[in-house]
Structure 1
Amino acid sequence: MPQFDETELTEAVVASFDETPDPRLKHLMRELVRSLHDYVRRTGLTFEEWQKAIDFLTRTGQKCSPSRQEFILLSDVLGVSMLVDAVNHRERDGATQTTVLGPFYVGEHKPMPNGTDISEGVEGERMYVQCHVVDLGGQPLAGVPVDVWHADDDGFYDSQKPSYAEAGPSLRAQFVTDAEGRFAFRTILPCSYPIPIDGPVGELVLAAHRHPMRPAHVHFLVNAPGFEPLITHVFIEGDKYLESDVVFGVKDDLISSVELRNDAVMPDGRDAPGPWHLMTYEFRLKPGRGAAPRPMMAAAAG
């Protein structure tokens, strides 16, 4: 009967996947085993630590529900979500940088005319968002659907609220670029907010003396035929959490200088309700193919 030492054991487990028919699955499992076994050896993992890890993962799974995905949250705070994004978008060639989708994308949003106020009935400082969608040569792209969504002034997305099923969507919509590749909308200024910390992932973040905050941002999904779908955030310059986003999602290229304005009218020619903020951004799309993502279960970082 085989008796394996710590090195022979790893090779035996790796070899147990030799007959896996799917070559990609075979490669992924063999590499996963090597990495996990190496971690155990390098750290000298104790039985107590191993049991705590099993308990942590068990509670992470138990925290998941149709409206919460604690494992995505774990992936986010460990930087794995952004690493997967980076590995899959290595060559940008001048295209706008990508970042994580987040868990509060709910699928294609309701199409609305350019200039629509997506924040009706929501408290907050008013903001006008004015964007341009172009190819890598700077040529405008017309007729491109763009999904937008963001949190409210308290840091909550509409889908996090018990009233979502009845009240319907808020602070989210789909716009289509005009002949000049432009779209615009009215909304409120988003704020920085904490990820959920009432579960095992929150316990981990707090035990490490890390803060749970994300800097203020607006999500965009730009999906033009003939181009790679662009999933990104636009962050607000000056937010104090830009340097320490708990999910590591900030990139310099994605920070917008949002201006405080006192003009009596907004760029759409309609009256401004007092002071307001102006966010502008140009999205540069990379030629290629790809499918827009499917919505994930709500709950991780946002």
Structure 2
Amino acid sequence: MGENINPRLAEVMSALVRHLHGFAKEVQLTQDEWDLAIAFLTRTGQICSEERQEFILLSDTLGFSMLVDAINNRRPSGATENTVFGPFHVDGAPVRQMGDCISLDGKGDSCLFEGRVLDLHGEPIENACVDVWSDNSEGFYDVQQPDIQPKWNNRGRFVTGTDGVYRFIGIKPVSYPIPDDGPVGQMLGHLGRHPYRPAHMHFLVTAPGFKKIVTHTFVGDDPYLASDTVFGVKETLIAPFEHVRGETEWRSPFDFVMVPEERSS
């Protein structure tokens, strides 16, 4: 490497080359295997688009996304844990009124999601933005079916008041396979792994002065909880889903506990 380069760049690249060469030596990588790897990465890049990020899927299914998240989001006991962001978030979802329904196609079992956004002392956080998104009743996000689902289906943002409460009506999520018609799906097939994610609702919670929360809440009786293809399940994120009779068929209460920005552990 040249002189006067960025020290962090030098550290990262030195470690990358060292471990990459060590990997090739350990497995005695053949020329045919190297060619296959280059072709795999090429196809992975070629299938990427504004709507699809195959490299994120690759990182997720290798457990790498969760490792990077764990390194960068160590939190004290009681704080809400992060999990993978996933490839289907869309910026600029509509800001909706508290209690609004985000299911625009009217399909699926309706579910009331509600709770509070709190600090570590249990005090409510005002002006927290709770950005939510989920699949539809058939396991697809709206961006996967732009000609079938209404735009912004099962998406919305909700801003808390002085009580820190959020509340909206969505659907009880269903488990679904990640896109498996590309290189990542082929890799999973060769490894004897399924492509399924357990049912979950996505949450991105932000508030001035606090670290953002990127997480899911999971349906507790889902058959894929123990084998999530992206390794995203954490026990603290398994939320209650109560069968009720009333305006909605289900209710899922869950509080989010945020950490101040200046706190690192």
> Which category describes the TM-score, using the shorter chain as reference length?
over 0.9
Q: CA deviation at 1:108?
A: 3.2
Which structure 2 residues correspond to residues 64-213 of structure 1 after superposition, within 5 A?
64-163=48-147, 167-213=150-196
1-side partners of 2:106 and 2:60: how far apart? 28
Residue 243 of structure 1 aligns to a residue whose secondary structure is helix
- Write the distance in 1 (CA, Å) between the matches of 2:20 and 2:44: 19
- SS of corresponding position for 2:184: helix
Equivalents in 1 of 2:126, 2:184: separation in Å?
42
| Counterpart mapping for 1:1-302 below 5 A | 17-19=1-3, 21-163=5-147, 167-262=150-245, 265=246, 272=247, 276-288=249-261
Once the two structures are superposed, residues 69-100 of structure 1 have per-residue CA deviations (whole angstroms, 9 ceiling, x without a partner) of 11111111001111110000123342100011
Q: Percent identity?
A: 47
Alpha-carbon shift at residue 63 of structure 1 (Å): 1.2
Query: Which has the higher Rg, Structure 1 or Structure 2?
Result: 1
Unpaired runs of 5+ residues, structure 1, are 1-16, 266-271, 291-302
Deviations 1:223-264 (A, max 9, x none): 1111001111111111111111000000011000101112xx
Amino acid at match of 2:254: Y
Matched position secondary structure for 2:226: coil
The Cα of 1:126 is off from its aligned counterpart by 1.2
Q: What letter corresponds to residue 229 of structure 2 in structure 1?
A: V
Deviations 1:90-133 (A, max 9, x none): 23342100011111111132111111011133311111111211
Q: Decide whether the 8 Å contact of 2:109 with 2:172 is kept in 1.
A: yes
Gaps of 5+ in 2: none
- Deviation, structure 1 residue 59: 1.1
TM-fit CA distance, 1:289: 6.1
Q: Distance between the aligned counterparts of 2:133 and 2:184, measured in 1? A: 24
**TM-score normalised by L of structure 1:** 0.84
Residue-by-residue CA offset, 1:141-172 (whole Å, 9 max, x unaligned): 122111011000111111111327x9421100
Is the Cα–Cα contact under 8 Å of residues 128 and 187 in structure 1 kept in the other structure?
Answer: yes
Letter of the aligned partner of 2:182 in structure 1?
G
Q: Distance in 2 between matches of 1:167 and 1:121?
A: 7
Whether contact under 8 Å (1:122, 1:152) holds in the other structure is no
